[in-house]
A and B are shown apart, each in its own frame.
Chain A
Amino acid sequence: MSFFAGVYLLTKKELKDLFSTPLIYVLTALFSLIIGWLFFNYLILSKDLTRLSIAQAIVNPIFGNMHFLFIFLSPLITMKVFSEEKKNQTLDLLFRSQIRPLQIIVTKILSSLMASIFMISLTLIFPIILWMSGYKEVGVFVTSYVGLALTLLCYTSVGVFASSLTENQILSAVISFCLLLGLMLLVMSSNASANPLIGEILSYLSVPYHYEPFVRGMIRSFDLIYVGSFVSFFIYLTSLSLESRNW
Protein backbone atom coordinates (compact mmCIF):
# COMPACT_ATOMS: atom_id res chain seq x y z
CA MET A 1 0.00 0.00 0.00
CA SER A 2 1.42 3.38 -1.01
CA PHE A 3 2.10 6.06 1.60
CA PHE A 4 -0.66 8.37 0.39
CA ALA A 5 -3.22 5.57 -0.06
CA GLY A 6 -2.69 4.59 3.59
CA VAL A 7 -2.87 8.19 4.79
CA TYR A 8 -6.04 8.78 2.75
CA LEU A 9 -7.72 5.64 4.16
CA LEU A 10 -6.94 6.54 7.75
CA THR A 11 -7.68 10.26 7.39
CA LYS A 12 -11.13 9.48 6.00
CA LYS A 13 -11.87 7.35 9.03
CA GLU A 14 -10.37 9.83 11.49
CA LEU A 15 -12.39 12.75 10.11
CA LYS A 16 -15.56 10.66 10.25
CA ASP A 17 -14.75 9.89 13.90
CA LEU A 18 -13.95 13.51 14.76
CA PHE A 19 -17.07 14.94 13.16
CA SER A 20 -19.38 12.27 14.55
CA THR A 21 -18.74 13.36 18.14
CA PRO A 22 -20.20 16.52 19.72
CA LEU A 23 -16.80 17.72 21.05
CA ILE A 24 -15.70 19.38 17.83
CA TYR A 25 -19.01 21.24 17.46
CA VAL A 26 -18.98 22.40 21.09
CA LEU A 27 -15.41 23.68 20.73
CA THR A 28 -16.24 25.38 17.42
CA ALA A 29 -19.25 27.11 18.97
CA LEU A 30 -17.21 28.27 21.95
CA PHE A 31 -14.36 29.49 19.77
CA SER A 32 -16.72 31.30 17.37
CA LEU A 33 -18.53 32.99 20.26
CA ILE A 34 -15.33 34.29 21.88
CA ILE A 35 -13.58 35.33 18.67
CA GLY A 36 -16.77 36.88 17.21
CA TRP A 37 -17.28 38.93 20.35
CA LEU A 38 -13.62 40.07 20.27
CA PHE A 39 -13.88 41.00 16.57
CA PHE A 40 -16.96 43.06 17.28
CA ASN A 41 -15.13 44.89 20.09
CA TYR A 42 -12.06 45.58 17.96
CA LEU A 43 -14.33 46.84 15.21
CA ILE A 44 -16.06 49.28 17.57
CA LEU A 45 -12.75 50.32 19.17
CA SER A 46 -11.11 50.93 15.78
CA LYS A 47 -13.36 53.96 15.26
CA ASP A 48 -11.56 55.72 18.15
CA LEU A 49 -8.01 54.58 17.33
CA THR A 50 -7.61 56.78 14.30
CA ARG A 51 -3.79 56.66 14.30
CA LEU A 52 -3.75 52.90 13.76
CA SER A 53 -4.38 51.16 10.47
CA ILE A 54 -7.11 48.51 10.19
CA ALA A 55 -4.39 45.86 10.14
CA GLN A 56 -2.95 47.15 13.42
CA ALA A 57 -6.30 47.81 15.09
CA ILE A 58 -8.21 44.70 14.05
CA VAL A 59 -6.30 42.09 12.04
CA ASN A 60 -3.20 41.77 14.24
CA PRO A 61 -5.04 41.52 17.59
CA ILE A 62 -7.72 39.20 16.26
CA PHE A 63 -5.13 36.75 14.88
CA GLY A 64 -3.11 37.10 18.10
CA ASN A 65 -6.21 36.09 20.04
CA MET A 66 -6.99 33.19 17.72
CA HIS A 67 -3.47 31.92 18.26
CA PHE A 68 -3.81 32.26 22.04
CA LEU A 69 -7.17 30.46 22.11
CA PHE A 70 -5.70 27.49 20.26
CA ILE A 71 -3.17 26.95 23.05
CA PHE A 72 -6.24 25.75 24.99
CA LEU A 73 -8.20 24.27 22.09
CA SER A 74 -5.47 22.21 20.36
CA PRO A 75 -4.94 19.93 23.40
CA LEU A 76 -8.69 19.30 23.51
CA ILE A 77 -8.85 18.44 19.81
CA THR A 78 -5.87 16.08 19.94
CA MET A 79 -6.30 14.58 23.41
CA LYS A 80 -8.02 11.40 22.24
CA VAL A 81 -6.22 10.61 18.99
CA PHE A 82 -3.89 8.00 20.47
CA SER A 83 -5.27 7.78 24.02
CA GLU A 84 -8.54 6.32 22.82
CA GLU A 85 -6.82 3.92 20.42
CA LYS A 86 -4.71 2.69 23.31
CA LYS A 87 -7.70 2.38 25.61
CA ASN A 88 -9.76 0.43 23.06
CA GLN A 89 -6.72 -1.66 22.07
CA THR A 90 -7.26 -0.63 18.44
CA LEU A 91 -3.69 0.62 18.09
CA ASP A 92 -2.55 -3.00 17.73
CA LEU A 93 -5.07 -3.41 14.93
CA LEU A 94 -3.37 -0.57 13.05
CA PHE A 95 0.13 -1.80 13.84
CA ARG A 96 -0.70 -5.30 12.58
CA SER A 97 -2.01 -3.90 9.29
CA GLN A 98 -0.11 -2.77 6.21
CA ILE A 99 -0.15 0.82 7.51
CA ARG A 100 3.25 1.98 8.74
CA PRO A 101 3.65 3.88 12.06
CA LEU A 102 4.69 7.07 10.20
CA GLN A 103 1.46 6.95 8.19
CA ILE A 104 -0.54 6.59 11.40
CA ILE A 105 1.18 9.59 13.03
CA VAL A 106 0.89 11.79 9.91
CA THR A 107 -2.81 10.90 9.67
CA LYS A 108 -3.47 11.80 13.27
CA ILE A 109 -1.76 15.18 12.82
CA LEU A 110 -3.47 15.84 9.50
CA SER A 111 -6.99 15.02 10.69
CA SER A 112 -6.60 17.12 13.86
CA LEU A 113 -5.25 19.99 11.75
CA MET A 114 -8.25 19.70 9.43
CA ALA A 115 -10.57 19.90 12.44
CA SER A 116 -8.73 23.05 13.61
CA ILE A 117 -8.95 24.55 10.12
CA PHE A 118 -12.67 23.80 10.13
CA MET A 119 -12.93 25.85 13.32
CA ILE A 120 -11.02 28.83 11.97
CA SER A 121 -12.81 28.65 8.61
CA LEU A 122 -15.84 30.22 10.27
CA THR A 123 -13.78 33.37 10.92
CA LEU A 124 -13.57 33.97 7.16
CA ILE A 125 -16.58 36.15 7.75
CA PHE A 126 -14.20 38.78 9.26
CA PRO A 127 -12.28 39.62 6.06
CA ILE A 128 -15.59 39.60 4.18
CA ILE A 129 -17.06 42.16 6.60
CA LEU A 130 -13.91 44.34 6.36
CA TRP A 131 -13.82 44.02 2.58
CA MET A 132 -17.43 45.14 2.38
CA SER A 133 -16.53 48.10 4.59
CA GLY A 134 -13.86 49.17 2.12
CA TYR A 135 -10.72 47.42 3.43
CA LYS A 136 -9.24 45.86 0.30
CA GLU A 137 -5.87 44.50 1.57
CA VAL A 138 -6.52 40.80 1.23
CA GLY A 139 -2.80 39.87 1.35
CA VAL A 140 -2.41 40.36 5.09
CA PHE A 141 -5.38 38.06 5.70
CA VAL A 142 -3.88 35.40 3.43
CA THR A 143 -0.50 35.43 5.20
CA SER A 144 -2.19 35.53 8.61
CA TYR A 145 -4.31 32.48 7.83
CA VAL A 146 -1.26 30.66 6.40
CA GLY A 147 0.68 31.55 9.57
CA LEU A 148 -2.17 30.42 11.80
CA ALA A 149 -2.52 27.12 9.91
CA LEU A 150 1.23 26.46 10.24
CA THR A 151 1.15 27.33 13.94
CA LEU A 152 -1.79 24.98 14.41
CA LEU A 153 0.22 22.30 12.62
CA CYS A 154 2.95 22.75 15.26
CA TYR A 155 0.43 22.69 18.13
CA THR A 156 -1.30 19.63 16.71
CA SER A 157 1.98 17.73 16.48
CA VAL A 158 2.62 18.52 20.16
CA GLY A 159 -0.91 17.38 21.06
CA VAL A 160 -0.55 14.13 19.11
CA PHE A 161 2.74 13.43 20.88
CA ALA A 162 1.12 14.07 24.30
CA SER A 163 -1.75 11.76 23.37
CA SER A 164 0.69 8.97 22.50
CA LEU A 165 2.08 9.07 26.05
CA THR A 166 -1.00 8.01 27.96
CA GLU A 167 -4.34 6.21 27.84
CA ASN A 168 -5.93 9.00 29.86
CA GLN A 169 -7.39 11.76 27.68
CA ILE A 170 -7.45 14.38 30.46
CA LEU A 171 -3.80 13.73 31.29
CA SER A 172 -2.96 13.92 27.59
CA ALA A 173 -4.67 17.35 27.32
CA VAL A 174 -2.87 18.61 30.43
CA ILE A 175 0.56 17.47 29.15
CA SER A 176 -0.12 19.04 25.77
CA PHE A 177 -1.29 22.31 27.34
CA CYS A 178 1.80 22.49 29.58
CA LEU A 179 4.12 21.91 26.61
CA LEU A 180 2.38 24.60 24.52
CA LEU A 181 2.39 27.05 27.41
CA GLY A 182 6.09 26.31 27.96
CA LEU A 183 6.78 27.04 24.29
CA MET A 184 4.97 30.35 24.61
CA LEU A 185 6.78 31.28 27.79
CA LEU A 186 10.09 30.92 25.95
CA VAL A 187 9.44 34.37 24.48
CA MET A 188 9.16 35.88 27.97
CA SER A 189 12.33 34.05 29.06
CA SER A 190 14.14 35.47 26.06
CA ASN A 191 13.08 39.01 27.05
CA ALA A 192 14.30 38.41 30.58
CA SER A 193 17.63 36.99 29.50
CA ALA A 194 20.67 39.28 29.97
CA ASN A 195 22.63 37.49 27.26
CA PRO A 196 21.39 38.67 23.82
CA LEU A 197 22.54 35.46 22.11
CA ILE A 198 20.64 33.23 24.53
CA GLY A 199 17.67 35.59 24.24
CA GLU A 200 17.77 35.25 20.47
CA ILE A 201 18.01 31.44 20.64
CA LEU A 202 15.08 31.22 23.08
CA SER A 203 13.02 33.52 20.85
CA TYR A 204 13.81 31.40 17.82
CA LEU A 205 12.66 28.26 19.61
CA SER A 206 9.26 29.69 20.53
CA VAL A 207 6.33 29.30 18.13
CA PRO A 208 4.85 32.85 18.50
CA TYR A 209 8.17 34.36 17.34
CA HIS A 210 7.62 32.68 13.96
CA TYR A 211 3.90 33.42 13.84
CA GLU A 212 4.13 37.19 14.24
CA PRO A 213 5.75 37.94 10.84
CA PHE A 214 2.91 36.11 9.06
CA VAL A 215 0.34 38.35 10.80
CA ARG A 216 2.35 41.38 9.68
CA GLY A 217 2.12 40.12 6.10
CA MET A 218 5.58 38.52 5.78
CA ILE A 219 6.43 34.96 4.74
CA ARG A 220 10.07 34.19 5.67
CA SER A 221 11.84 31.02 4.56
CA PHE A 222 13.36 30.30 7.99
CA ASP A 223 9.92 30.42 9.60
CA LEU A 224 8.82 27.69 7.21
CA ILE A 225 12.01 25.72 7.99
CA TYR A 226 11.26 26.13 11.71
CA VAL A 227 7.73 24.71 11.27
CA GLY A 228 9.09 21.78 9.22
CA SER A 229 11.76 20.98 11.81
CA PHE A 230 9.36 21.42 14.73
CA VAL A 231 6.76 19.05 13.27
CA SER A 232 9.41 16.49 12.22
CA PHE A 233 10.87 16.55 15.74
CA PHE A 234 7.50 15.84 17.34
CA ILE A 235 6.71 13.13 14.76
CA TYR A 236 10.00 11.51 15.79
CA LEU A 237 9.14 11.81 19.49
CA THR A 238 5.69 10.31 18.85
CA SER A 239 7.16 7.37 16.95
CA LEU A 240 9.59 6.78 19.86
CA SER A 241 6.72 6.93 22.31
CA LEU A 242 4.69 4.40 20.29
CA GLU A 243 7.71 2.15 19.88
CA SER A 244 8.25 2.17 23.65
CA ARG A 245 5.20 -0.10 23.98
CA ASN A 246 7.56 -2.90 22.98
CA TRP A 247 10.32 -2.08 25.45
Chain B
Amino acid sequence: MQDAICLTNVSKDYPGIKALKNVTFSVKKGSIHGFLGPNGAGKTSALKIMAGLLPPSEGKIEILGLDPKKAKERVGFLPETPPLYHNMLVRDYLEFVASINGVSRTRLKDALAETLKKCSLESVKDRLIGNLSKGFKQRVGIAQALIHCPELVILDEPTVGLDPVAIQDIRDLILSLGKERTVLFSSHQLYEVGLLCEEITVINKGEIIHTGPIAEIQKKLQTGQSLKIELSNWRPELKEELLRTFAIESLALSQGKEGMILNVVAKKQEDLRQSLSLFLIQKGCQLYSLVEEKMELEEIFNHLTNSSLEAK
Protein backbone atom coordinates (compact mmCIF):
# COMPACT_ATOMS: atom_id res chain seq x y z
CA MET B 1 0.00 0.00 0.00
CA GLN B 2 1.28 3.48 -0.89
CA ASP B 3 2.07 5.93 1.91
CA ALA B 4 -0.04 9.06 2.32
CA ILE B 5 2.49 10.60 4.71
CA CYS B 6 6.19 9.88 4.85
CA LEU B 7 8.51 11.70 7.23
CA THR B 8 12.24 10.99 7.16
CA ASN B 9 14.58 12.38 9.82
CA VAL B 10 12.47 15.47 10.37
CA SER B 11 13.66 17.92 13.02
CA LYS B 12 12.19 21.21 14.16
CA ASP B 13 14.09 23.73 16.24
CA TYR B 14 12.56 26.70 18.01
CA PRO B 15 14.84 29.18 19.76
CA GLY B 16 16.28 27.21 22.67
CA ILE B 17 14.04 24.16 22.11
CA LYS B 18 14.34 21.14 19.87
CA ALA B 19 10.69 20.28 19.34
CA LEU B 20 11.27 17.34 16.99
CA LYS B 21 14.35 15.12 16.78
CA ASN B 22 14.86 12.97 13.67
CA VAL B 23 11.22 12.00 13.40
CA THR B 24 10.67 9.16 10.94
CA PHE B 25 7.34 7.48 10.32
CA SER B 26 4.77 6.87 7.63
CA VAL B 27 0.99 6.63 7.34
CA LYS B 28 -0.58 4.19 4.90
CA LYS B 29 -3.10 5.48 2.37
CA GLY B 30 -6.71 4.78 3.37
CA SER B 31 -5.93 4.08 7.04
CA ILE B 32 -6.85 5.78 10.31
CA HIS B 33 -3.59 6.46 12.07
CA GLY B 34 -3.30 7.56 15.70
CA PHE B 35 -0.60 9.98 16.77
CA LEU B 36 -0.04 9.58 20.46
CA GLY B 37 1.96 11.51 22.96
CA PRO B 38 1.74 13.36 26.25
CA ASN B 39 1.34 17.15 26.31
CA GLY B 40 4.41 18.93 24.96
CA ALA B 41 5.65 15.83 23.13
CA GLY B 42 5.81 17.61 19.76
CA LYS B 43 2.53 16.37 18.26
CA THR B 44 1.23 19.79 17.20
CA SER B 45 4.56 20.84 15.66
CA ALA B 46 4.70 17.60 13.67
CA LEU B 47 1.09 17.96 12.50
CA LYS B 48 1.62 21.61 11.49
CA ILE B 49 4.68 20.59 9.48
CA MET B 50 2.62 17.89 7.73
CA ALA B 51 -0.17 20.40 7.05
CA GLY B 52 2.35 22.74 5.37
CA LEU B 53 2.02 25.47 7.99
CA LEU B 54 5.51 25.13 9.46
CA PRO B 55 8.73 24.44 7.61
CA PRO B 56 10.92 21.76 9.19
CA SER B 57 14.46 22.67 10.25
CA GLU B 58 15.77 19.44 8.72
CA GLY B 59 14.52 16.29 7.05
CA LYS B 60 12.32 15.18 4.20
CA ILE B 61 8.52 15.15 4.14
CA GLU B 62 6.26 13.72 1.49
CA ILE B 63 2.52 14.26 1.70
CA LEU B 64 0.65 12.24 -0.97
CA GLY B 65 3.96 12.05 -2.78
CA LEU B 66 4.42 15.85 -2.80
CA ASP B 67 6.06 18.60 -0.81
CA PRO B 68 3.68 19.66 2.04
CA LYS B 69 3.28 23.18 0.58
CA LYS B 70 2.26 21.77 -2.80
CA ALA B 71 -0.05 19.17 -1.24
CA LYS B 72 -1.92 21.73 0.90
CA GLU B 73 -4.98 21.70 -1.36
CA ARG B 74 -5.31 17.93 -0.99
CA VAL B 75 -5.06 18.00 2.80
CA GLY B 76 -7.73 19.01 5.31
CA PHE B 77 -6.42 20.22 8.66
CA LEU B 78 -8.12 20.82 11.97
CA PRO B 79 -5.79 22.54 14.45
CA GLU B 80 -6.16 22.10 18.20
CA THR B 81 -8.27 25.29 18.32
CA PRO B 82 -10.75 25.21 15.42
CA PRO B 83 -10.14 28.22 13.13
CA LEU B 84 -13.59 29.81 13.30
CA TYR B 85 -15.03 33.25 12.58
CA HIS B 86 -17.48 33.60 15.45
CA ASN B 87 -19.56 36.33 13.81
CA MET B 88 -20.35 34.24 10.71
CA LEU B 89 -23.19 31.82 10.08
CA VAL B 90 -22.13 28.17 9.79
CA ARG B 91 -23.24 28.06 6.15
CA ASP B 92 -21.51 31.33 5.22
CA TYR B 93 -18.33 30.21 6.93
CA LEU B 94 -18.21 26.88 5.12
CA GLU B 95 -18.97 28.58 1.80
CA PHE B 96 -16.14 31.03 2.44
CA VAL B 97 -13.68 28.24 3.30
CA ALA B 98 -14.74 26.30 0.21
CA SER B 99 -14.27 29.39 -2.00
CA ILE B 100 -10.78 30.21 -0.73
CA ASN B 101 -9.84 26.58 -1.26
CA GLY B 102 -10.83 26.77 -4.90
CA VAL B 103 -14.14 24.87 -4.85
CA SER B 104 -15.97 26.04 -7.98
CA ARG B 105 -19.35 27.79 -7.78
CA THR B 106 -21.05 24.86 -9.50
CA ARG B 107 -19.62 22.36 -7.02
CA LEU B 108 -20.08 24.60 -3.98
CA LYS B 109 -23.74 23.80 -3.30
CA ASP B 110 -23.22 20.03 -3.42
CA ALA B 111 -20.02 20.20 -1.37
CA LEU B 112 -21.79 22.27 1.28
CA ALA B 113 -24.83 19.97 1.50
CA GLU B 114 -22.60 16.89 1.62
CA THR B 115 -20.37 18.31 4.38
CA LEU B 116 -23.28 19.58 6.46
CA LYS B 117 -24.84 16.12 6.31
CA LYS B 118 -21.63 14.27 7.05
CA CYS B 119 -20.87 16.43 10.08
CA SER B 120 -24.55 16.53 11.23
CA LEU B 121 -24.62 20.32 11.03
CA GLU B 122 -27.85 20.72 9.06
CA SER B 123 -29.82 21.79 12.13
CA VAL B 124 -27.40 24.65 12.94
CA LYS B 125 -26.41 25.80 9.45
CA ASP B 126 -28.19 29.16 9.86
CA ARG B 127 -26.83 29.89 13.32
CA LEU B 128 -23.92 32.11 14.31
CA ILE B 129 -20.80 30.09 15.06
CA GLY B 130 -20.19 32.11 18.23
CA ASN B 131 -23.52 30.91 19.65
CA LEU B 132 -22.85 27.19 19.13
CA SER B 133 -21.88 24.67 21.80
CA LYS B 134 -18.28 23.46 21.96
CA GLY B 135 -19.24 20.14 20.37
CA PHE B 136 -20.85 21.85 17.39
CA LYS B 137 -17.92 24.28 17.05
CA GLN B 138 -15.62 21.26 16.84
CA ARG B 139 -17.86 19.76 14.15
CA VAL B 140 -17.72 23.03 12.20
CA GLY B 141 -13.92 22.84 12.57
CA ILE B 142 -13.93 19.33 11.12
CA ALA B 143 -16.36 20.43 8.39
CA GLN B 144 -13.96 23.19 7.26
CA ALA B 145 -11.26 20.51 6.93
CA LEU B 146 -13.55 18.39 4.72
CA ILE B 147 -15.39 20.96 2.59
CA HIS B 148 -12.89 20.82 -0.29
CA CYS B 149 -12.91 16.99 -0.32
CA PRO B 150 -9.28 16.37 0.67
CA GLU B 151 -7.65 12.96 0.30
CA LEU B 152 -5.91 13.28 3.65
CA VAL B 153 -7.43 14.68 6.84
CA ILE B 154 -5.22 15.71 9.76
CA LEU B 155 -6.99 16.31 13.07
CA ASP B 156 -5.17 17.71 16.10
CA GLU B 157 -6.86 16.42 19.27
CA PRO B 158 -10.38 16.51 17.83
CA THR B 159 -12.15 15.32 20.98
CA VAL B 160 -10.35 17.38 23.60
CA GLY B 161 -12.62 19.21 26.05
CA LEU B 162 -15.89 17.72 24.72
CA ASP B 163 -18.65 16.01 26.67
CA PRO B 164 -19.03 12.20 26.34
CA VAL B 165 -21.88 12.40 23.80
CA ALA B 166 -19.97 14.84 21.58
CA ILE B 167 -16.84 12.67 21.89
CA GLN B 168 -18.76 9.62 20.70
CA ASP B 169 -20.19 11.62 17.77
CA ILE B 170 -16.73 12.81 16.71
CA ARG B 171 -15.38 9.25 16.99
CA ASP B 172 -18.17 7.98 14.75
CA LEU B 173 -17.39 10.76 12.30
CA ILE B 174 -13.69 9.82 12.24
CA LEU B 175 -14.60 6.18 11.64
CA SER B 176 -16.86 7.14 8.73
CA LEU B 177 -14.12 9.39 7.31
CA GLY B 178 -11.68 6.51 7.47
CA LYS B 179 -13.80 4.55 5.01
CA GLU B 180 -13.09 6.95 2.17
CA ARG B 181 -9.86 8.80 2.98
CA THR B 182 -6.70 8.75 5.05
CA VAL B 183 -7.09 10.15 8.55
CA LEU B 184 -4.26 11.06 10.91
CA PHE B 185 -5.36 12.26 14.29
CA SER B 186 -3.52 13.10 17.46
CA SER B 187 -4.73 12.36 20.92
CA HIS B 188 -3.56 11.66 24.41
CA GLN B 189 -6.64 9.57 25.09
CA LEU B 190 -5.20 6.13 24.59
CA TYR B 191 -8.49 4.32 24.88
CA GLU B 192 -9.82 6.40 21.99
CA VAL B 193 -6.87 5.61 19.76
CA GLY B 194 -7.37 1.91 20.48
CA LEU B 195 -10.99 2.19 19.40
CA LEU B 196 -10.36 4.01 16.14
CA CYS B 197 -6.98 2.95 14.79
CA GLU B 198 -5.09 -0.13 13.85
CA GLU B 199 -1.79 1.70 13.59
CA ILE B 200 -0.26 4.21 15.94
CA THR B 201 2.82 6.36 16.28
CA VAL B 202 3.96 7.23 19.77
CA ILE B 203 5.99 10.40 20.28
CA ASN B 204 7.60 11.65 23.45
CA LYS B 205 9.92 14.62 23.94
CA GLY B 206 10.16 15.14 20.20
CA GLU B 207 11.25 11.58 19.43
CA ILE B 208 9.29 8.74 17.88
CA ILE B 209 9.23 5.93 20.41
CA HIS B 210 7.31 3.49 18.32
CA THR B 211 5.34 3.31 15.11
CA GLY B 212 3.32 0.45 13.65
CA PRO B 213 0.21 -1.69 14.19
CA ILE B 214 -1.09 -1.72 17.76
CA ALA B 215 -1.14 -5.55 17.75
CA GLU B 216 2.53 -5.62 16.74
CA ILE B 217 3.50 -3.32 19.58
CA GLN B 218 1.53 -5.41 22.04
CA LYS B 219 3.26 -8.53 20.79
CA LYS B 220 6.67 -6.93 20.92
CA LEU B 221 6.30 -5.72 24.48
CA GLN B 222 4.82 -8.87 25.90
CA THR B 223 7.44 -11.55 26.38
CA GLY B 224 5.04 -14.43 26.98
CA GLN B 225 1.41 -15.28 27.45
CA SER B 226 -0.32 -13.55 30.35
CA LEU B 227 -3.12 -15.48 32.08
CA LYS B 228 -5.55 -14.49 34.80
CA ILE B 229 -7.01 -17.50 36.62
CA GLU B 230 -9.72 -17.35 39.26
CA LEU B 231 -9.96 -20.51 41.37
CA SER B 232 -10.72 -22.00 44.76
CA ASN B 233 -9.14 -24.87 46.80
CA TRP B 234 -5.71 -23.33 46.27
CA ARG B 235 -2.85 -24.72 48.35
CA PRO B 236 0.45 -22.78 48.85
CA GLU B 237 2.65 -25.76 47.88
CA LEU B 238 1.09 -25.68 44.39
CA LYS B 239 3.09 -22.53 43.62
CA GLU B 240 6.43 -24.36 43.76
CA GLU B 241 5.01 -27.21 41.74
CA LEU B 242 3.72 -24.85 39.04
CA LEU B 243 7.08 -23.09 38.75
CA ARG B 244 8.83 -26.46 38.45
CA THR B 245 6.45 -27.91 35.85
CA PHE B 246 5.91 -24.93 33.53
CA ALA B 247 8.18 -22.27 32.00
CA ILE B 248 6.76 -19.39 34.02
CA GLU B 249 8.27 -15.91 34.10
CA SER B 250 6.20 -14.65 37.03
CA LEU B 251 3.39 -15.85 39.24
CA ALA B 252 1.37 -13.52 41.46
CA LEU B 253 -1.41 -14.38 43.88
CA SER B 254 -4.16 -12.17 45.17
CA GLN B 255 -7.47 -12.54 46.94
CA GLY B 256 -10.51 -12.47 44.62
CA LYS B 257 -14.25 -12.32 45.35
CA GLU B 258 -14.84 -16.06 45.10
CA GLY B 259 -11.38 -17.40 45.74
CA MET B 260 -7.78 -16.73 44.75
CA ILE B 261 -6.65 -14.91 41.62
CA LEU B 262 -3.54 -16.19 39.92
CA ASN B 263 -1.65 -13.99 37.48
CA VAL B 264 0.73 -16.04 35.38
CA VAL B 265 3.15 -14.75 32.74
CA ALA B 266 4.81 -17.41 30.60
CA LYS B 267 8.50 -17.29 29.68
CA LYS B 268 8.07 -18.26 26.05
CA GLN B 269 5.48 -17.58 23.33
CA GLU B 270 3.60 -20.81 24.01
CA ASP B 271 -0.06 -21.36 24.85
CA LEU B 272 -0.33 -22.59 28.46
CA ARG B 273 -4.10 -22.42 28.78
CA GLN B 274 -4.92 -26.09 28.20
CA SER B 275 -2.02 -27.68 30.12
CA LEU B 276 -2.30 -25.25 33.02
CA SER B 277 -6.05 -25.69 33.47
CA LEU B 278 -5.69 -29.50 33.29
CA PHE B 279 -2.89 -29.41 35.87
CA LEU B 280 -4.89 -27.28 38.31
CA ILE B 281 -8.03 -29.43 37.99
CA GLN B 282 -5.98 -32.59 38.56
CA LYS B 283 -4.59 -30.98 41.74
CA GLY B 284 -8.15 -30.52 43.02
CA CYS B 285 -8.58 -26.83 42.31
CA GLN B 286 -11.92 -25.51 41.16
CA LEU B 287 -11.58 -23.14 38.19
CA TYR B 288 -14.03 -20.26 37.83
CA SER B 289 -12.33 -18.51 34.94
CA LEU B 290 -9.16 -18.52 32.88
CA VAL B 291 -8.59 -15.45 30.69
CA GLU B 292 -5.69 -14.50 28.47
CA GLU B 293 -4.85 -10.85 29.12
CA LYS B 294 -3.76 -8.53 26.34
CA MET B 295 -1.63 -5.56 27.29
CA GLU B 296 -3.88 -2.48 27.40
CA LEU B 297 -2.97 0.54 25.38
CA GLU B 298 -2.48 2.56 28.53
CA GLU B 299 0.12 0.03 29.69
CA ILE B 300 1.83 0.11 26.29
CA PHE B 301 1.98 3.86 26.38
CA ASN B 302 3.32 3.99 29.92
CA HIS B 303 5.81 1.26 29.12
CA LEU B 304 7.03 3.05 25.98
CA THR B 305 7.26 6.53 27.45
CA ASN B 306 8.93 5.24 30.64
CA SER B 307 11.48 3.21 28.74
CA SER B 308 12.27 6.25 26.57
CA LEU B 309 12.93 8.26 29.71
CA GLU B 310 15.04 5.48 31.25
CA ALA B 311 17.11 5.28 28.07
CA LYS B 312 18.17 8.88 28.72
Q: Which residues of A contact B (CB under 8 A)?
A: 1, 6, 9-10, 13, 17, 20-21, 88-90, 92-99, 246
Given contacts A13-B96, A89-B81, A246-B55, contact A98 B86 (CB under 8 A): no
Q: What is the 8 Å Cβ interface bit string for chain B, positions 69-89, against chain A (1 contact, 0 not)?
A: 000110001010111111100
User: Nearest CB to that of B80 among chain A residues?
Assistant: A89
Contacts of B82 in A (CB 8 A): 89
CA separation between A35 and B51, bound complex, in Å?
A: 50
Contacts of A6 in B (CB 8 A): 100
CA separation between A99 and B51, bound complex, in Å?
A: 16
Q: List 8 A-B contacts (CB under 8 A).
A: A6-B100, A10-B100, A13-B96, A20-B87, A88-B86, A96-B72, A97-B101, A246-B55
Given contacts A1-B102, A9-B100, A13-B96, contact A96 B52 (CB under 8 A): yes
A92 x B100 contact (CB < 8 A): no
A98 x B100 contact (CB < 8 A): yes
Contacts of B102 in A (CB 8 A): 1, 97-98
Contacts of A21 in B (CB 8 A): 87
CA separation between A90 and B83, bound complex, in Å?
A: 4
Nearest CB on A from B238, distance (A)? 62
Contacts of B52 in A (CB 8 A): 96
Contacts of B97 in A (CB 8 A): 93, 97
CA separation between A92 and B54, bound complex, in Å?
A: 10
User: Nearest CB to that of A13 among chain B residues?
Assistant: B96
CA separation between A93 and B148, bound complex, in Å?
A: 13
Nearest CB on A from B243, distance (A)? 59
Contacts of A98 in B (CB 8 A): 73, 100-102
Contacts of B84 in A (CB 8 A): 88, 90
Q: Which of A13, A17, A20, A90 has the most CB of B within 10 A?
A: A90
A92 x B87 contact (CB < 8 A): no
A96 x B55 contact (CB < 8 A): no
Contacting A at CB under 8 A, from B21-80, are 51-55, 72-73, 77, 79
Nearest CB on B from A94, distance (A)? 7
Q: What is the 8 Å Cβ interface bit string for chain B, positions 81-112, against chain A (1 contact, 0 not)?
A: 11111110000000011011110000000000
Q: Which of A1, A89, A93, A99 has the most CB of B within 10 A?
A: A93
Contacts of A20 in B (CB 8 A): 87
Nearest CB on B from A244, distance (A)? 12
User: Nearest CB to that of A5 among chain B residues?
Assistant: B99
Contacts of B72 in A (CB 8 A): 96
B138 at the interface (CB under 8 A from A): no
B85 x A17 contact (CB < 8 A): yes
Contacts of A94 in B (CB 8 A): 100
User: Nearest CB to that of B48 among chain A residues?
Assistant: A92
B144 at the interface (CB under 8 A from A): yes
Contacts of B54 in A (CB 8 A): 246
A97 x B100 contact (CB < 8 A): yes
Contacts of A93 in B (CB 8 A): 83, 97, 100, 144
Contacts of A92 in B (CB 8 A): 53, 77, 79, 83
A96 x B87 contact (CB < 8 A): no
Contacts of A90 in B (CB 8 A): 83-85
CA separation between A20 and B87, bound complex, in Å?
A: 8
CA separation between A95 and B69, bound complex, in Å?
A: 10
User: Nearest CB to that of B52 among chain A residues?
Assistant: A96
CA separation between A13 and B99, bound complex, in Å?
A: 11
Nearest CB on A from B235, distance (A)? 65
Contacts of B83 in A (CB 8 A): 88-90, 92-93
Contacts of A95 in B (CB 8 A): 53
CA separation between A9 and B85, bound complex, in Å?
A: 15
Contacts of B101 in A (CB 8 A): 97-98
CA separation between A99 and B72, bound complex, in Å?
A: 12
